[in-house]
Chains A and B, each alone.
Chain A
Amino acid sequence: MNRSRMISLGATAGLAALALTACAGGGSSSDSGDIALTLTDTMSESSAPIYDEIYQACAAEIGVTVTSNHVAGSGLIATVLQQASSKTLPDVLMLDNPDVQQIAASGALSPLADHGITGNGFPEGVLSAGTYEGDLYGIAPIVNSLGLFYNADLLAEAGIEPPTTWDELSAAAAALTAEGRYGIAFSAANSFEGTWQFLPFLWSNGADEDDLTSDEAAGALAFVDSLVADGSASASVVGWSQNDVNDQFIAGKAAMMINGPWNMPSLTAAEGLNFDSVPIPVPNAGDDVVAPLGGETFTIPQTGDKDRMAAAGKLVACVVKGENQLTMATRRGAVPSDSAMAEQAATENPLVAAFAETVQTARSRTALLGEDWPAAATQIYTAVQLALTDKSTPEEAWAQAAG
């Protein structure tokens, strides 16, 4: 290999390393089995070791070897499509739950029932998130959702109780807004993250994604819009990702935020931050909070090799077992899918409790529209952006965002 080739390869590898974070994880330490499985997941550098430990333990248990490959979540679908067209899909593939239907519809995945995975003990919402046309294709060992995080010191100082209704949320956010600090932060970005963050308001108000021009949808949008209009939230929310929101909260520039349990490790590590979380406030006292269900599922692609697919099935069945759920959930900041395990996690860690409650009733994003979800998701964040930037009224935004 000549020198310039080496250099360009080195440069490519350097770029890839940025995206792929810690590829070295898997590796086959024991050559006990004849079957060597490949697995692709979307774990970050900090989460990968937790998962690799579980993969290796499970592989040893069922007598195979497994090599894991960690890719960035944002680039996963592109990778999957590439592998699908070149017939090089891994034996086990992690997919974010709203993507499962899309990929299952293409015929790339095998029904998990073929491998004896039925999802017994998993809540309805978790199963429906991995189901396409009646068959279970993806199973999520741990799930998450959204909640309201608050800076306990700031609320105590102002003598405010954590809000439970929209009115209380408005009042609290306005009262907590001060020089250099907003009452609340959330993401209303023009991406699926923005959609995901708006869903608890949309759904809790009784609106559905198959009828977005309803009064309920307009009402939900009017409420979120009012938070920005009265200055309780920054106008910059239209550009913030959830990570940005978390940064604002940690920096003390927001007294409350809408975010998910995966931030708990970074929030706990933040010095001098005294935080807690409650379920997202609902329109009126007594309403049920309906939040979106998040979490990555494990799927088994159609690779054509029966033995390997069977082994992959055993591996997935082992990885999603109760005790593994508990390990992943506590170390990554999530709720175990299994209801019994979720209860145990909630008692062990009070921070998980608020989310354990929410995920029991959380809704899957693709349950209603299936493959058509991405189009609706685009319409939702577009409408939110139109309203929040005053390009349109909340009533007109939905119609304007269509198509």
Chain B
Amino acid sequence: MSTTVAVDPATGDLSPQGARKRARRRESTAQWLFLAPALVYVIVFFGYPVGKNFVMAFQDYSTRTFFTGEAPWVGFDNYVEVFSSNIFGMTVTNTVLFTVGSIIGQFGIGLAFALFFKRKFPLNNVMRSMLLLPWLLPVIASTSVWKWILDQDSGVLNQVLQALNLTSSPIPWLADPDIALVSVVLVNVWLGIPFNVTLLYSGLQDIPEELYEAASLDGATGLKAFRHITWPSLRPVVNVVLVLGVIYTLKVLDIILGLTRGGPANSTQTLATDSYHRSFQEFSFGTGAAVSNILIVVSLVFALIYLRVNRRAVDE
């Protein structure tokens, strides 16, 4: 873009003020033009679906709607149906347990791995890249394998546990409603470790080595060094990892569908799977949208926290 043209061809105005005004106007037009693709993208691919979903939750949106285009307005009926359904309390509890359990596991193990790989030892890089493997596999493929591993009768996990005499009778990992949620959390932890390790490891790399050297002169090593140097320096990264982890975990659908489909007896049904079930098994798109709106609001809260945390991290 040329910036040398300061003369208005129409008026021949050569005054410095006019030129500056025009330049500013041109600049702001250019700014909007640069913004336009992003704005259009956000409106078409984020704004429209979210808006549509919001409206859909107030409609009796069924299979009929797709052919006739008619979706009668039902007000808050869909929300009433969702809130008063027998399984709503259970899905909320499951969603919380699933999210909290997954985050604690992923973060704890992820941090341990990140600290471990910070040390220098042979094959460090090879092993660290191997750790990314769960991330590289298609989720449906890995859940199929996990389903086989966790099978009560012929699963390899139970066979190993029994061979080591750790359990006398095979554990019904996915068949018992009291254990299934734990199993699903375990698989999700496995899947989430690479994300946590990668971010935490790069955060650790940013901590200057001199800090540790200086601290060790003062006698702070090991746990003390972790408490007074590593943890405070890592805080901004930790915040981001945790908040993003919550958002990612809340909406997990494929892992649960692949392992248990929300069963047995709804013991692994979360808001995400319940919404999917209502929309795509029962074709009650209105109530499905209502459930997913609840999920969107919860995610939004965490997204706002993320933005705040992220800003503070940048400021620091």
- Contacts from A to B (Cβ < 8 Å): 77-78, 81-82, 84-85, 102-103, 105-108, 182, 189-192, 234-239, 253, 374-375, 378, 382, 385-386, 388-389, 391-392, 400-403
Contacts and interface: CB of A to CB of B under 8 A. Distances in A.
Contacts of A253: 153-154
Interface in B253-289: 260-267, 280-283
Contacts, number: 98
Given A236-B153, A239-B260, A106 B265 contact: no
Given A235-B176, A374-B283, A375-B282, A189 B261 contact: yes
Contacts of A392: 265
A403 to B, nearest CB: 5
A386 B177 CA distance: 9
Contacts of A191: 261, 281
Interface stretch (B28-36, B46-54, B64-72): B64-72
Nearest to A234: B153
B283 A85 contact: no
Contacts of B265: 190, 238, 382, 385-386, 389, 391-392
B2 interface: no
A382 to B, nearest CB: 7
B172 A235 contact: yes
Interface residues of B, number: 33
A192 B282 CA distance: 10
B281 A239 contact: no
B11 interface: no
10 contacts: A82-B66, A102-B63, A182-B153, A235-B176, A238-B175, A239-B175, A239-B263, A239-B264, A389-B265, A400-B86
A106 B68 contact: yes
A239 B66 contact: no
A189 B177 contact: no
B67 A108 contact: yes
B53 to A, nearest CB: 16
B27 to A, nearest CB: 32
Nearest to A391: B265
B63 A389 contact: no
Contacts of B69: 85
A107 B68 contact: yes
A361 to B, nearest CB: 29
B152 A85 contact: no
Nearest to A401: B86
A106 B64 contact: yes
A402 B87 CA distance: 10
Given A106-B64, A182-B153, A253-B153, 15 more contacts: A77-B63, A81-B66, A82-B66, A85-B69, A106-B65, A106-B66, A107-B67, A189-B263, A191-B261, A191-B281, A192-B281, A238-B175, A374-B281, A382-B265, A391-B177
B168 interface: no
